[in-house]
Amino acid sequence: IAGITQAPTSQILAAGRRMTLRCTQDMRHNAMYWYRQDLGLGLRLIHYSNTAGTTGKGEVPDGYSVSRANTDDFPLTLASAVPSQTSVYFCASRPRDGSYEQYFGPGTRLTVT
Amino acid sequence: QKEVEQDPGPLSVPEGAIVSLNCTYSNSAFQYFMWYRQYSRKGPELLMYTYSSGNKEDGRFTAQVDKSSKYISLFIRDSQPSDSATYLCAMSAILTGGGNKLTFGTGTQLKVEL
């Protein structure tokens, strides 16, 4: 692995179902982020984690939860999916304290019907 | 009013043209500025980042920041069809709990035609 991987690549999900989007990085970056990208709204931060064991809420956290058990993995869970959660989801990571740039994964395209 | 404003385009230019992409922002707390390139159905790819006002050059790309006017630009010289993508500006501010968050423009779609 080199960089950030996300799974699945795409998914169609029935409303009300639970879904976990996976994100793994092999760069030993401390900070990780989840964004959603919607046409006309751009990328919006859902949740973030500055280091393993800590998480924080972004600007659109409702309906989503995250955990950070170790440095490499940062899963995003939709407990009960709704159609408004149809979006493209990107995981990102930041190299180190004091850096500001973030590096993105390839994304998961989610459709909630 | 959005914190970051970016013209969505689409912007269509001939091959070899100089392209100018721009963003304005309203939050004085933004300190770091980035440009990302995103190809269709792919993740954003970091092109350039800068902290200070002025210009930063990397090959055919030049990033320009004017903090006094709250205005940033990305110039692409000798544009190529492979530059056809959506370009996102992003700006960094400190999070309450530490670390930083990026605020993105909505992106400008660029098409470079043969």
Residue to test with chain B: of A43, A45, A94, A97, most B Cβ within 10 A: A43
User: Looking at residues A85-92, what average pLDDT do you find?
Assistant: 98
Count of CB atoms situated within 10 Å of the CB of A42: 21
- Closest residue of chain B to A50, computed from CA coordinates: B99
The 10 Å CB-count burial string (b at 16+, else e) for B76-92 is beebeeebbbbbbbbbb
Task: Tell me what the mean pLDDT of segment A56-64 comes to.
Answer: 95
What was the pLDDT predicted at A68?
97
Q: For residue range B13-43, list pLDDT tens digits in order.
A: 999 999 999 999 999 889 899 999 999 999 9
pLDDT interval class at A51 (50, 70, 90): very high
The alpha-carbon gap from B16 to the nearest alpha carbon of chain A, in Å, equals 29
Do B102 and A58 count as a contact with CB atoms less than 8 A apart? no
Write out pLDDT tens, residues B36-85: 999 999 999 999 999 878 899 999 999 999 999 999 999 999 999 999 99
B101 to A41: CB separation less than 8 angstroms, yes or no: no
What is the per-residue pLDDT across A20-50, written as a single tens digit (0 to 9) for each?
Answer: 999 999 999 999 999 999 988 889 999 999 9
Residues in chain B: 114
Secondary structure element (H or E) that encloses residue B113, with its range: strand B108-113
